[in-house]
Amino acid sequence: MDGRPITINPEEGKLIQLLIKLSNAKTIIEIGTLYGYSTIWMARALPNDGKIYTIDRDTNSAKIARENFSKLDKELSNKIIQINGDANVELQNLIDKKIVCDIVFIDADKISYYNYLKLSEKLLKKDGLLIADNTFLSGAVYKDYLPDRVSITAQQNVRKFNGELADESKYCGIMLNTEEGLSIAVKKF
Ligand code: DHB
Ligand code: MG
């Protein structure tokens, strides 16, 4: 992990909480649970009848996240719906169930970012918020060479993802220059 923290940092957690509050969000879909740290940040900002669906295919980290969630107050843990599966499949399941959400937060395998965006567009309400971590892809989005551990497919897909969010006919967005790049965009359609 070349020294880069894999979870969001507290400032990012607080910023996302602000966005949840400012937009009166009630339903969030998180792609990439890991140990549930960002999930808990977001759940705390949701109203008591709010819900956060959090998806991860990794069974080991999902188990740790489940343990972390079980230690929370019931009021908080009741807001969290944990899904252990491949988001490429699970997002389609949520679309089939006609789930509509206010915010999608993407912080998962970078190779799938473009596909996650396409699926998220079907889940997000008009004027909903798309938030994505790691959109600098360790610098790979603006460098000619590939940093360690970044595949050419990931580079192509995150560039395509960023290009889509920069399309002002579809999104009003910004890439914040955090260490890893944090994109925030309102879906205009
Ligand atoms: C890695 C993943 C992340 O989502 C992140 O924010 C930082 C690092 C990683 O896989 O190394
Ligand atoms: Mg990340």
CA of 23 to the centre of ligand 1 (A): 27
Residue 3 scores a pLDDT above 80? no
pLDDT tens readout for residues 68-83: 999 999 999 999 999 9
Could you give the 3-state DSSP secondary structure of residue 24? coil
pLDDT tier, 5 (very low <50, low <70, confident <90, very high otherwise):
confident
Q: What is the per-residue pLDDT for 9?
A: 96
Pairing of strands 124-133, 101-106: parallel
pLDDT tens readout for residues 27-67: 999 999 999 999 999 999 999 999 999 999 999 999 999 99
Q: What is the per-residue pLDDT for 1?
A: 44
pTM over 0.95: yes
CA of 132 to the centre of ligand 1 (A): 12
- Relative to the CA of 34, which ligand 1 atom is closest? 4
Unique residue bearing structure tokens 């944990």: 82
pLDDT tens readout for residues 112-160: 999 999 999 999 999 999 999 999 999 999 998 999 899 999 999 999 9
CB 141 within 8 A of CB 189: no
The DSSP secondary structure of 50-108, one letter per residue, reads: -EEEEEE--HHHHHHHHHHHHTS-HHHHTTEEEEES-HHHHHHHHHHTT--EEEEEE-S
Count of alpha carbons within 13 angstroms of residue 140, beta-carbon side: 21
Residues with CB under 6 A from ligand 1: 1, 4, 6, 107, 133-134, 180
CA of 98 to the centre of ligand 1 (A): 30
CB 134 within 8 A of CB 180: yes
pLDDT tens readout for residues 159-168: 999 999 999 9
Out of 30, 112, 180, mutate this one to test ligand 1's pocket (max ligand atoms within 8 Å of CB): namely 180
Q: Both ends of the chain: CA-CA distance in Å?
A: 37
Ligand nearest to the CA of 131: 2
